[in-house]
């Protein structure tokens, strides 16, 4: 799957490319409006990560161009502004999601995968890993064809972990992901430990091996 990273901060663009590249994504970078325009005109991408403020143009104009070109790709706006107006404008112009800087790479990966899944399977997609099967439209988790009842936060947590297979995810990233957009992250991360513990127990009870590993005090890793 091809991802175009339109981002004028080269360091950030490279980090994004490296992180997503280790997943099953092939990443291309455009650091300027013009190069981005060239790339979207010539190539097709599954997902475009779009910074609004570019040195030589407004990212929102690229959205309009994409619409005019009738490209069927996902777009996630990545902006430092975090302004409600930009968010609404972007989403109205056909962007799928909006991610405010700074963000965690794990969050980015999860969002990209969600957008790509939605595009590819028209919203009705199945997330699979060995015996785990998640139907994101029905919001159900099945292990060996048996439904495992999870709370909403446990469900979100599992998807987040599975979207970042073999990656260490920091507790900060998990906390931010679970807290949501408006809400502010709580100061202590005890609640994450509680959710992980509950999730692990439910998965183990359903006969699932322990995929969620603790990496020192740093975070967690979903791996075989």
Partner 1 sequence: MRLLNVNLRSFLYYSLLLVLIGVPLFFITIREILEQEIDKTLHLQREEFINHLRNYEYLEDLEVDLHVFDELAYDLSIQPASSGSKDELYETVSLYDSLDREAKPYRVATSYFIVKGKWYKLIMRMSLVENEDLVLVIGLVQTLLVLFLLGGFLLINRSLSKKIWQPFYKTLTKLKAYELNKSESFQYEETRIDEFDDLNAAIRSLTNKNMEVFQQQKEFIENASHELQTPLAILQSKLDLLMQDEALTEEQAALVKDMTNTNQRLSKLNKSLLLLSKIENQQFIDKEDVDVTQILRDTILNYQELTATTTPNILTTSPFILQGNKVLLEILINNLVRNAFQHTTHHDQIKIKLQDGTLTIENPGEPFKQGSEKIFERFHKESTNRSSTGLGLAIVKKICDLSGYNLTYAYQSGAHYFIVKF
Q: What is the DSSP letter of 30?
A: E
* 55 makes contact with partner 1 (CB under 8 A): no
* 150 makes contact with partner 1 (CB under 8 A): no
Q: Which is nearer to partner 1, 85 or 210 (CB)?
A: 85
Give CB contacts under 8 A, 24+ apart, made by 154-161.
154/195, 154/198, 154/199, 154/202, 157/195, 157/196, 157/199, 158/132, 158/134, 158/199, 159/110, 159/127, 159/134, 160/106, 160/110, 161/211, 161/212, 161/220, 161/222
* 139 makes contact with partner 1 (CB under 8 A): no
Q: Pick the stretch among 69-77, 90-98, 139-147, 209-217 that binds partner 1 (CB under 8 A).
A: 209-217
* 162 makes contact with partner 1 (CB under 8 A): no
Q: Which is nearer to partner 1, 40 or 108 (CB)?
A: 108
Could you tell me which of 13, 16, 26, 189 has the C-alpha nearest to residue 106? 16
* 151 makes contact with partner 1 (CB under 8 A): yes
Interacting residues with partner 1 between 76 and 135 (CB under 8 A):
80-84, 100-106
| Contact predicate 56/33, CB 8 Å | yes
Q: Which is nearer to partner 1, 132 or 157 (CB)?
A: 157
Q: What's phi and psi for 25, nearest 5 deg? A: -105, 140
Chain positions contacting partner 1, by CB under 8 A: 9, 11-12, 15-16, 18-19, 22, 53, 80-84, 100-106, 151-153, 167-168, 170, 172-173, 178-180, 182-188, 191, 194-195, 198, 215-219
């Amino acid at each position: 799957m091809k991802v175009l990273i339109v981002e004028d901060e080269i360091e950030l663009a490279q980090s994004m490319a490296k992180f997503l590249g280790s997943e099953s994504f092939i990443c291309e970078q455009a650091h300027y409006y013009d190069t981005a325009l060239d790339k979207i005109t010539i190539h097709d991408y599954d997902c475009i990560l779009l910074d609004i403020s570019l040195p030589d143009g407004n990212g929102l104009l690229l959205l309009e161009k994409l619409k005019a070109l009738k490209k069927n790709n996902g777009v996630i706006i990545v902006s430092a502004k975090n302004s409600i107006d930009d968010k609404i404008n972007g989403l109205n112009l056909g962007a799928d999601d909006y991610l405010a800087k700074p963000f965690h790479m794990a969050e980015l990966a999860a969002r990209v995968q969600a957008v790509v899944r939605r595009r590819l399977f028209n919203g009705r997609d199945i997330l699979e890993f060995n015996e785990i099967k998640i139907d994101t439209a029905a919001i159900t988790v099945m292990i060996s064809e048996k439904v495992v009842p999870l709370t909403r936060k446990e469900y979100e947590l599992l998807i987040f972990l599975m979207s970042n297979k073999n990656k260490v995810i920091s507790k900060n990233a998990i906390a931010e992901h679970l807290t949501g957009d408006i809400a502010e992250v709580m100061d202590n991360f005890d609640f994450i430990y509680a959710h992980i513990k509950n999730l692990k127990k439910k998965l183990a009870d359903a006969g699932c091996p322990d995929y969620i590993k603790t990496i020192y005090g740093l975070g967690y890793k979903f791996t075989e």
